[in-house]
Chain A
Amino acid sequence: MHLKAEQVEVLNEVSSLNQLYDFIDAFALRAGLADDARRTVSVVVEELFANTVSYGYPTGSPDQIILRLSLTGDKIEICLTDHGIPFDTAASTATDFEGQSTEDRRVGGLGLFLVHQLSETVSSHHHNGTNFTQIVVSRSKTDMSG
């Protein structure tokens, strides 16, 4: 099944997450995504967007962030486009949170760690002041333990 890419454009503020959730829910409904896949997409988008908004705009400059979702076969592609400080999401994590003790645990970085663990591929690149972050997640994830 190929669902034409759908996108939404929101302000770079954390409250825009409400709009993104509505957009994801509507996309999932039209694409016939199972709950597992919808939840994975939601978690990935939330982490990426929250991270971008929190660290990408130290001077508070307004921006429009675009989220695009598309479904091709068994793959869901998530693409986030922003104009904040470039951040190399693809290379952002090597932390083994499962190996940490309770006392040593730090939550910082956990969001991007989750993104990597829940995704098949994570890539990011920058061009002319625009950052593109592309994530591919599986639509039918029966084993996420890898």
Chain B
Amino acid sequence: MADSAQLTISDVEEEGVTIVCPVGRLETLSAKAFEDHLNGVANAADGDLLVDMSSVDYVTSFGLRSILIVAKQLSPSGRKLIMFSPNDSVMEVLRISGFLKIVEVTKTKSAAIGAANKNQDA
């Protein structure tokens, strides 16, 4: 668990993939804790990284920055960061900022799991 006043983060393991579940606002005050948490999860597993966005109220540019940093760190080893189930506001910010071209976003969890490379030791 890594918490800030604006964001609570937990993880679940499902069908061989690790899913990070942030709850709250992904913004200036919470972005660094979120980034550190994603990096920790990425280092502990070796498959793709899934992020359940369904309980993220909104994302600002600082939050986008942390997502981008982690996605870029995963990229050389052929790993992906996949987000799923964002609300309309989050989806709009992802679209406006061009992130839909960088990071895979699916509507449902099952689609994200289907698109993910599983952890080797699962």
A residues with a Cβ closer than 8 A to B are 14-15, 17-18, 21, 35-36, 39-40, 42-43, 46-47, 50, 97-100, 102, 105, 107, 110-111, 113-114, 117-118, 144
Contact = CB atoms under 8 A, between A and B. Distances in A.
Contacts of A111: 60-62
12 contacts: A15-B29, A18-B5, A35-B87, A35-B89, A42-B25, A43-B93, A47-B60, A50-B62, A97-B97, A110-B61, A114-B93, A118-B93
Nearest to A50: B28
Interface residues of B, number: 25
Contact of B96 (A42, A98, A102): A98
A114 B61 CA distance: 8
A105 B96 contact: no
Interface of B: 5-6, 25, 27-29, 57-62, 64-65, 68, 87-89, 92-93, 96-98, 101-102
B92 A144 contact: yes
Contacts of B62: 50, 111
Given A98-B101, A111-B60, 18 more contacts: A18-B5, A35-B87, A40-B89, A42-B25, A42-B57, A43-B58, A43-B59, A43-B60, A43-B89, A46-B60, A47-B61, A50-B62, A102-B101, A102-B102, A111-B62, A114-B61, A118-B92, A118-B93
Nearest to B90: A39
